[in-house]
Amino acid sequence: MLDDVGGRQAELSLRRRSTKRPGKHQSGDNRTHQTSLDLWLQAEAVSRPMLFKPYFVRDYRRMVRTLIERHGYADAMSRSVGGDYEGMGRAQSQVLCDEGLRDTDMIIDVGCGSGRTAFALSRIPSLRYFGIDVVPELIEHAKAKAARPDWRFEVVEGLAIPAPDHSADMVVFFSVVTHLTWNESQRYLDDALRVLKPNGKLLFSYLEKSNPRHMKAVGSLFERTYHLFRGHGVKNVTLSEDQIRRWADQRQIEFTLRGPEALGQTYCVVKR
Ligand SMILES: C[S@@+](CC[C@H](N)C(=O)[O-])C[C@H]1O[C@@H](n2cnc3c(N)ncnc32)[C@H](O)[C@@H]1O
């Protein structure tokens, strides 16, 4: 299953639910007595402080909070990152080990979400790990699931990794550049190159333009526009091998593409 399909299904189900009138199960709250003006004023008040944050911070935080409200905390923590929490986490961890992650390495997990990868990696006792994400609730959950007081988790709001130059053996972006524009992703990937040690590895997964299954996961222009208009969900972006080649050529680095289906996405590996 495509990694993002779970998330998209969650989002589609949100859209379906959002068109329903409040049912009996909602009688405990006051939604049935609210006018459109009340709802608009509430939404405006909630979104105002977020107004000047980048769209990827706003959209992801809003999506996670909506998922918690609709599905409960535990379920939302898995849905927010695409579902199949343990299975996909194991697959991601296996990919990292296959790519040469060593037991004592320092790995940076950009967009670590609710800790799907961290949870799977937490069985490696001497591994060092730093996870960053834009959603505080996801970071808290990741921290709790990994249960590794020696590991670091941090909320970020930009496109930079708060780590020193040449400090990581591996930097990984699982299903993160799929939610940013290519310009933004390039800034983030450049920063990943900065924090990598010589001979370190950068790995990022992405949705490939030439893959019909990946294109389906992104949805039609109509679906995406509707989706954004309704304020649910997040940006979905595809990439082509040519785009990645141009980025790599400009930086004089070599890359290898793997997949396309190992993780439901194609992934790119760059050796520093
Ligand atoms: C599809 S989820 C994948 C989560 C995790 N990598 C995994 O595979 O389980 C994408 C994650 O990227 C995070 N994200 C989006 N923009 C980000 C940014 N600029 N910096 C860090 N994380 C970001 C989201 O909050 C979300 O947790």
- CA-CA distance, 202 to 17, in Å (whole number)? 39
Of all protein residues, the one whose alpha carbon is nearest to atom 9 of ligand 1 is 116
Domain membership flag for residue 72: yes
Contacts of 253 (CB under 8 A, 6+ apart): 193, 270, 271, 272
pLDDT of residue 64: 93
The region of weakest confidence among 42-51, 52-61, 169-178 is: 42-51
Cβ–ligand 1 contact at 131 (below 6 Å): no
| 164 and 262 housed in the same domain | yes
Assess if residue 94 is contained within a domain: yes
Residue 7 lies in a domain: yes
Task: Report residue 261 as tokens.
Answer: 């289906």
Q: Do 118 and 35 fall within a single domain?
A: no
Q: Is the pLDDT of residue 102 over 60?
A: yes
Residue 24: inside a domain, yes or no? no
What is residue 118's predicted lDDT score, i.e. its pLDDT? 98
The pLDDT assigned to 61 comes to: 93
Identify the three-state secondary structure at position 255: strand
99 lies in the same domain as 205: yes
Does residue 115 share a domain with residue 72?
A: no
Quick check: 189 pLDDT over 80?
yes
φ/ψ bin of 113: left (φ > 0), alpha (ψ from -120 to 50), beta (otherwise) = left
Same structural domain, 100 and 69: no
pLDDT digits (tens, 9 = 90+) for 120-147: 999 999 999 999 999 999 999 999 999 9
Ligand 1 centre to CA of 185 (Å) is 12
The answer to the question of residue 242 being in a domain is: yes
Range of the domain at 183: 85-220+235-271
Residue 110 within any structural domain of the chain:
yes
Q: Which atom of ligand 1 is nearest to the CA of 188?
A: 19
Same domain, yes or no: 40 and 171: no
Residues 66 and 106 both lie in one domain: no
75, 89: one domain: no
- The string of pLDDT tens digits covering residues 13-24 is 333 333 333 333
This prediction's pTM: 0.82
Number of domains comprising the chain: 2
Q: What is the domain-level CATH number for residue 116? A: 3.40.50.150
